[in-house]
């Protein structure tokens, strides 16, 4: 990964959010960027914790300017699939050549029920 820039808060991924998916084996990851040069990819590098980024999932981005003409303009979304329930994962998000710092999450329990309000 030497061709990737380290985390850069000026042009790099920001406002990273995660949410459980429809099944225990899914996690949805969203983030924002402001620079169109980062649109070469929307990807998440991930693997079983700690600091294992051996898998890669790709996703999509959308342009978002409604009420936000000068702010973060691109919303990226990647769904990780095939996760092992209750296991800890490390992940980093990638937009173009910029990559975030590392984070961790625990995959949903296979017997956990989600409730929506």
50 prior amide bond cis, ω within 30: yes
Phi/psi-derived region of residue 86, left when phi > 0, alpha when psi is between -120 and 50, beta in every other case: left
CA-nearest of 23, 22, 25, 79 to 56 is 79
60-63/103-106 β-pairing:
unpaired
What is the tens place of the pLDDT at every residue in 54-90? Answer: 999 999 988 887 766 666 688 899 999 999 999 999 9
In the beta sheet, which residues pair with residue 70? none
Average pLDDT, the chain: 84
pLDDT, tens digit, 9 for 90 and up, residues 3-22:
554 554 556 788 999 999 88
Q: What pTM, to 2 d.p., does this model score? A: 0.81
Over range 36-65, report the average pLDDT. 88
Kindly report the CA angle at 58 between 116 and 37, in degrees rounded to 5?
A: 110
The pLDDT of residue 112: 65
Q: How confident is the model at residue 41 (pLDDT cuts 50, 70, 90)?
A: confident
Residues 98 and 34: beta-carbon distance below 8 Å:
no
């Amino acid at each position: 990964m030497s061709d990737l820039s380290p985390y850069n808060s000026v042009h790099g991924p920001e406002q990273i959010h995660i949410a459980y998916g429809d099944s225990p084996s899914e996690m949805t990851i969203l983030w924002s960027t402001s620079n169109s040069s980062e649109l070469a990819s929307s990807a998440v590098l991930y693997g079983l914790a700690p600091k294992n980024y051996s898998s890669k999932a790709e996703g999509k981005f959308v342009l978002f300017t409604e009420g936000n003409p000068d702010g973060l303009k691109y919303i990226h979304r990647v769904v990780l699939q095939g996760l092992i329930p209750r296991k800890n994962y490390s992940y980093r998000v990638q937009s173009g050549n910029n990559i975030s710092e590392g984070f961790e999450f625990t995959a949903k329990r296979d017997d956990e029920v989600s409730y929506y309000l």
